[in-house]
């Protein structure tokens, strides 16, 4: 019994390490890619009138480039949101298993009501995923407690409940990994966009102070820089909020399925053993 928890912790630790390595590599790679896009694609002379990168932009690519050095920083945040969203989508999809979670829960409840623990365990092998892992662990404990002669019903029920809680605690970190990065990008995107806005406005008013006479081209360029950074910051934050809420709702759905099925297992065991 002492060695039982060590089996599921190994893949969880490996998954956590892999996810941490993924995050450590993704962040600098996104920054490098954003800089390359800013310099070689958005900064191509063909996007500016007369081929002068410091001149007036002739298309949207040139306009984005005119946003200044803060643009690639915000672009890297946007790339991070996209990459981490794809990664979370893949992980959570695997955690959901091969079929409908709701259908799986109903099947498990049906097998429990019929007292067919073996069929319920076989259904877990078919479903796979986090919910199935927790349920299978609980069913294994169910069978162990069913054959345990030295404990009363309340102690056995408590043991099953504890096993469900432990199995759930092992699965949840994998589901929530890297969500904090997406949540952090919500604030960072907005604040960095605001920083770009402030820098653009400082340059705009600075050009007025130096020349004394409004230079419409230079003034509009700095205002454009401010607005482009604002737009990119808002876009990054908006996508981050949407994706964070999507993934948290998916995780909540899995957690609810685990709680619902775990409750059914505990209640079934208690009801079938209360007179023993």
Res 146: pLDDT = 85
Output the pLDDT for position 237: 95
In a domain, 112, yes or no: yes
Token pair, residue 216, equals 């419409």
* Alpha-carbon distances of 128 from 11, 94, 122, 135, 221, rounded to whole Å: 14, 8, 10, 10, 56
Nearest to 109 by CA among 160, 101, 125: 101
Q: Residue 253: inside a domain, yes or no?
A: yes
Asked if residue 218 is part of any domain, the answer here is yes
**Full pLDDT tens readout for the chain, 276 residues:** 334 444 444 455 556 677 778 888 999 999 999 999 999 999 999 988 888 887 788 888 988 988 888 999 999 999 999 999 999 999 999 988 888 898 999 999 899 888 888 999 999 999 988 999 999 999 999 989 988 888 888 899 999 999 999 999 988 888 888 899 999 999 999 999 999 889 888 887 777 766 555 566 677 777 888 889 999 999 999 999 999 999 999 999 999 999 999 999 999 888 887 765
Q: Closest Cα to residue 77, out of 35, 21, 25, 27?
A: 27
Is 188 a domain residue? Answer: yes
Question: What are the backbone dihedrals phi and psi of residue 41, each rounded to the nearest 5 degrees, phi first?
Answer: -105, -60
Structural domain boundaries enclosing 58 = 6-273
Task: Output DSSP code: residue 48.
Answer: B
Alpha carbon distances (Å) from 151 to 144, 154, 155, 273: 11, 8, 6, 12
Q: What contacts 205, CB < 8 A, 6 or more positions away?
A: none
Tokens 């759930």 belong to 168
**Do residues 270 and 153 touch, judged by C-beta distance below 8 A?**
yes
User: Is residue 204 included in any domain, yes or no?
Assistant: yes
Phi first, then psi, for residue 4 (nearest 5°) are: -60, -45
Number of H helices, E strands in the chain: 9, 0
- Determine, yes or no, domain membership for 1: no
pLDDT of residue 272: 82
Distances (CA, A) of 130 to 171, 200, 276: 6, 48, 33
The total number of structural domains in the chain stands at 1
Which pTM was predicted?
0.84
């Amino acid at each position: 019994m002492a060695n039982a928890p060590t089996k599921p912790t190994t893949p969880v630790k490996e998954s956590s390490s892999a996810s941490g390595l993924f995050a450590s590599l993704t962040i600098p790679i996104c920054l490098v890619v954003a800089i390359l896009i800013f310099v070689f694609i958005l900064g191509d002379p063909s996007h500016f009138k007369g081929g002068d990168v410091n001149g007036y932009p002739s298309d949207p690519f040139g306009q984005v480039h005119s946003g200044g050095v803060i643009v690639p920083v915000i672009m890297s945040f946007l790339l991070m949101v996209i990459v981490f969203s794809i990664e979370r989508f893949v992980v959570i999809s695997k955690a959901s298993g091969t079929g409908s979670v709701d259908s799986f829960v109903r099947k498990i409840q049906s097998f429990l009501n019929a007292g067919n623990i073996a069929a319920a365990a076989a259904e877990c092998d078919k479903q796979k995923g986090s919910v199935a892992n927790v349920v299978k662990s609980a069913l294994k404990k169910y069978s162990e407690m069913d054959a345990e002669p030295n404990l009363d019903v309340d102690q056995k029920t408590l043991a099953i409940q504890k096993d469900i809680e432990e199995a759930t605690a092992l699965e949840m970190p994998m589901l929530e990994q890297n969500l904090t990065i997406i949540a952090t990008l919500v604030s960072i995107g907005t604040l960095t966009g605001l920083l770009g806005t402030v820098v653009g406005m400082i340059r705009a008013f600075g050009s007025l102070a130096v020349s004394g006479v409004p230079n419409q081209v230079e003034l509009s360029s700095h205002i454009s820089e401010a607005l482009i950074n604002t737009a990119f910051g808002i876009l990054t934050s908006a996508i981050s909020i949407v994706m964070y809420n999507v993934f948290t709702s998916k995780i909540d759905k899995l957690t609810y399925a685990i709680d619902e099925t775990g409750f059914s297992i505990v209640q079934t065991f208690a009801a079938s053993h209360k007179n023993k």
